[in-house]
């Protein structure tokens, strides 16, 4: 379905994902290979499903019963299959009690953090799961985005990221791997074009998925966001050229040469016949 440019509150997530418009997720796939931007993403992985659950519990707790069913039956049992069939018919996801409990603990950890809790503090100034659409003037492409949280009083965007490592080094790797800087650049452009104001801050709230559920809000350096915006514009222009040509290339037809970077040399310790009995004993144990 084609959406008119603008901001939309209360727009169902499923309808958003089914709507027309170039998302930053599709543009990220285009960066790897243009051909990838012509196919839909695979079914959610377990980590992605857990992330969706955490988002719901932390940002939209009132919608949990409409979106999820808790069931701990054996996944191969007839009882579970009946629950799953009913959930599928109702458009719901089946989750385990432990996953739900962890999502609640993660929510509590976020709200207990002095800064993360302020960013996501409920109230009239906090809008969650806001969809927005705009037309890129350079390419004429309809673009779309969906922000986890918008703070109207701060003119800021908050984005919740469940991660394995919320530390500076660890989350920087996630930003590089998943192009979170692209997301910020894309969303800032989209909010300004569709809502009429430029976000003054963009907070990534990193939270680890395992106890003790470490939480750390991060902002990306402006220089990195500026570079990301240039890359986004370059990728979108290439996407436009592919549309016009009716051709989305893969990884190329040539043979590539790899540089695989530095690898720590292996420390091979020479075997000793005298150590053989002990080695065998340890292996047997």
pLDDT at position 234, please?
A: 96
pLDDT at position 217, please?
A: 98
Is 84 domain-assigned? Answer: yes
Average pLDDT over residues 54-75: 92
Q: Provide the pLDDT confidence category of residue 274 given band limits of 50, 70 and 90.
A: low
Q: What tens digit of pLDDT does each residue of 134-190 get? A: 999 999 999 999 999 999 999 999 999 999 999 999 999 999 999 999 999 999 999
The domain spanning residue 87 has which CATH number? 3.90.320.10
Is 6 domain-assigned? Answer: no
pLDDT above 70 (res 277): no
Domain that holds residue 92: 19-244
pLDDT at position 30, please?
A: 95
Is 124 domain-assigned? Answer: yes
Non-local (6+) Cβ contacts of 162 within 8 A are: 47, 50, 51, 54, 106, 207, 208, 209
pLDDT above 90 (res 1): no
pLDDT above 50 (res 283): no
Question: Which burial class, exposed, middle or buried, applies to 93 when counting CB atoms under 10 A from its CB (0-12, 13-18, 19+)?
Answer: middle
pLDDT above 70 (res 66): yes
pLDDT at position 275, please?
A: 57
Q: What tens digit of pLDDT does each residue of 5-15 get? A: 999 998 988 89
Q: What does the DSSP assignment read for 229-278? A: HHHHHHHHHHHHHHHHHT----S-SS---------PPP-PPPP-GGGHHH
Count of domains for the chain? 1
């Amino acid at each position: 379905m084609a959406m008119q440019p603008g901001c939309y509150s209360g727009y169902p997530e499923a309808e958003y994902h089914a709507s027309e418009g170039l998302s930053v997720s599709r543009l990220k796939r285009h960066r790897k290979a243009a051909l990838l931007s012509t196919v839909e993403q695979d079914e959610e992985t377990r980590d992605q499903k857990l992330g969706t659950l955490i988002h719901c519990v932390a940002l939209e707790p009132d919608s949990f019963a409409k979106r999820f069913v808790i069931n701990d039956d054996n996944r191969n049992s007839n009882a579970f299959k009946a629950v799953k069939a009913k959930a599928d018919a109702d458009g719901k996801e089946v989750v385990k009690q432990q996953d739900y409990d962890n999502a609640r603990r993660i929510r509590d950890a976020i709200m207990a953090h002095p800064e993360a809790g302020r960013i996501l503090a409920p109230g009239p100034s906090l809008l969650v799961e806001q969809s927005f659409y705009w037309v890129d003037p350079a390419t004429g492409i309809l673009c779309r985005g969906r922000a986890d949280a918008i703070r109207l009083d701060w003119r800021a965007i908050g984005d919740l990221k469940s991660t394995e490592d919320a530390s500076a080094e660890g989350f920087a790797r996630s930003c590089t791997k998943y192009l979170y800087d692209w997301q910020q650049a894309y969303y800032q452009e989209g909010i300004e074009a569709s809502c009429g104001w430029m976000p003054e801050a963009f907070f990534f709230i990193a939270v680890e998925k395992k106890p003790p559920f470490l939480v750390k809000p991060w902002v990306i350096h402006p220089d990195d966001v500026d570079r990301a915006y240039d890359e986004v514009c370059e990728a979108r222009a290439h996407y436009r050229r592919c549309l016009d040509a009716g051709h989305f290339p893969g990884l190329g037809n040539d043979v590539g040469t790899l540089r695989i970077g530095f690898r720590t040399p292996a420390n091979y310790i020479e075997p000793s016949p005298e150590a053989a009995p002990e080695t065998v004993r340890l292996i047997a144990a």
